[in-house]
């Protein structure tokens, strides 16, 4: 990483052209907001491109403690159903 006049620049050196692709995971903040919004409906909410990170797993545990069914369908896909939502969290 090289800094030029306050701007970060990634300098690539070599004789080969860059090629390939990169998969970008979803936004943590967008996923957490969508998970909270899933509390507003009684139907299944399928969230795609959800990042597999601690904050998302912790939020899923909080939702489960409130009666929400939360399960990973496959990598990056989370199913939430708030039909069983209740208004308290059981004590630890």
The pLDDT profile of the chain, 92 residues, written as one tens digit per residue, is 555 666 777 777 888 887 888 888 899 999 999 999 999 999 999 999 999 999 999 999 999 999 999 999 999 999 999 999 987 656 66
Question: Phi and psi for 30 in degrees, rounded to 5?
Answer: -70, -40
Quote the CA–CA distance of 40 and 17 in Å, as a whole number. Answer: 49
Give the burial string for 70-90 (b: 16+ CB within 10 Å, else e). beeeeebebebbbeeeeeeee
pTM reported for the whole predicted model: 0.72
């Amino acid at each position: 990483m090289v800094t030029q006049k306050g701007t970060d620049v990634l300098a690539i050196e070599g004789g080969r052209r860059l090629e390939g692709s990169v998969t970008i995971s979803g936004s943590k903040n967008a996923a957490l907001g969508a998970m909270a919004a899933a509390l507003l409906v009684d139907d299944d909410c399928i969230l795609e491109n959800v990042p597999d990170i601690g904050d998302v797993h912790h939020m899923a545990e909080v939702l489960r403690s409130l009666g929400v069914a939360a399960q990973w369908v496959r990598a990056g896909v989370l199913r939430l159903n708030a039909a069983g939502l209740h208004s308290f969290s059981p004590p630890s």
